[in-house]
Amino acid sequence: MSAPEAPTVTRPSSLRQVGLVARREVSTRITDRTFLVTTVVTLVLIIGLLVFQVLLNSDDDPTRVGVVGSSSTIEPFLTEQATAFGQEVQVSSAADEAELRTQVEDGDVDAGLVLGDRPQLLFDESADDSVVSIVRGAVAAESVQEQLVAAGVRLDSPPAVQVVELQPRQAGSDQLIGVASAGAFLTYFLLILFGQFAAQGVVEEKSSRVVELLLSTMRPWQLLAGKILGLGVLGLLQIVLLAVIGLGGALAAGVLDLPGQAVGTVAQSLMWFILAYALYASLFAAAASLVSRQEDLGSVLTPMTMLLVVGFIIAVQAIGNPGGTLATVTSFVPGVSPLVMPIRAAAGEASVWEVLVAVALMLVAVVLVVRLGGRIYAGALLRTGGKIKYREALTAER
């Protein structure tokens, strides 16, 4: 009688293994207090920024000026002076000075102008310097014209000045730069956040020896891929949520009036976030595998964090000068390009081929970092104790 055959144990496929780790990361971090607090705080900041922009735009209402005297002659001069200051003025007439004072006190007009030999400009409380400048310029211009007419001098109309922009930006580029800048800020913030999540998770698993149980059923690269994938899905969902709320709110509030181009800018920012996350998550996780205590994380994560900080500083500089040499060169540097290139593209300073080259360089960097980071991760994951050197992790047996 033959002995019974031992049951065959079928190991789950690599895809299933990676999926299990990814789902574990999502379920663990989605209830994490830090994740929830940062999401709420970011939403509050976005909503607050939208409210601020709405209030700022409301200041574009025309300045109301009430006039006692010949308002028909002073009105064109007030309009011309206001235009020179980038403002708009609305002129109304009052029957007498008493009625004008009442209009000023009741807030029916922002300022009251009493014409005569000694003109007066009335305000209810503090004077508005821009309104004072507009009215003074208008009164002076009208006085000069009256004196020239009285002297029998007739002046020809001055020649119109043609404004020529040597390097004009595309229409609405300021709005698109604002959208891209917000995307760069969110990318920077979320890379720091989820990079820390990945690093802390690696150290927690090493210090608790959970990683030994996990590696008894799966390979190191499956564990690393699942961790990066799970946190990446969570980060992508978060940035999409923030982008939808921010973009939708901006369009609804009238802060943006280029919905098609704004959506394209947001889509490009999301693409750069995915590439940047793949790069930095691999770096953070691989670096974290070199230590076994949370207290030692800072020393191994400093280089990646500094690279992100430098990239963010350059991105801030690129907002004011997207066509500058610094912004142009760094927009091709992997690790920095995800923060700078979207701003250059939104400003119309980056052609399609430049964006494609930057994406290609970033993809190459991601492939190299993932392979190298995977080797470091696999070589250092089961080694506990003090800090492990990169060379030791790369040459360790697997």
- The answer to whether residues 204 and 107 belong to one domain is no
pTM value surpassing 0.75: no
Q: Identify whether 3 is part of a domain.
A: no
- The answer to whether residues 196 and 315 belong to one domain is yes
What pLDDT was estimated at residue 196? 85
What pLDDT was estimated at residue 9? 44
What pLDDT was estimated at residue 259? 64
Q: Identify whether 8 is part of a domain.
A: no
Ranges of H-type helices in 253-292: 259-288
What pLDDT was estimated at residue 395? 66
Summarize pLDDT for 367-396 with one digit per residue, the tens: 888 878 777 777 766 566 667 676 766 665
Domain, as residue range, for 215: 15-47+172-395
- The answer to whether residues 265 and 386 belong to one domain is yes
Mean pLDDT of the chain, nearest integer: 79
The whole-angstrom separation of Cα 279 and Cα 334 is 9
Q: Which of 130-134, 225-229, 236-240, 256-260 has the lowest mean pLDDT?
A: 256-260
- The answer to whether residues 40 and 75 belong to one domain is no
Q: What would the two tokens of residue 397 be?
A: 């047996």
Q: Torsions phi, psi of 41, nearest 5?
A: -65, -40
- Does position 1 have pLDDT exceeding 50, yes or no? no
Question: Do the strands 120-122 and 89-93 form a parallel or antiparallel pair, or are they unpaired?
Answer: unpaired
Q: Identify whether 54 is part of a domain.
A: no
- The answer to whether residues 109 and 243 belong to one domain is no
- Does position 329 have pLDDT exceeding 60, yes or no? yes
What pLDDT was estimated at residue 314? 93
- The answer to whether residues 259 and 196 belong to one domain is yes
Summarize pLDDT for 242-280 with one digit per residue, the tens: 888 877 777 776 666 666 677 888 888 889 998 999 889
- The answer to whether residues 233 and 334 belong to one domain is yes
The whole-angstrom separation of Cα 376 and Cα 365 is 16
- The answer to whether residues 254 and 302 belong to one domain is yes
More confident residue, 21 or 192: 192
Q: Identify whether 162 is part of a domain.
A: no
- The answer to whether residues 112 and 136 belong to one domain is yes
Average pLDDT value for residue range 214-219: 70
Domain total in the chain: 2
What pLDDT was estimated at residue 72? 62
Element (H, E) at 29: helix 14-29
Q: What angle do CA 64, 70, 74 make, to 5 degrees?
A: 55
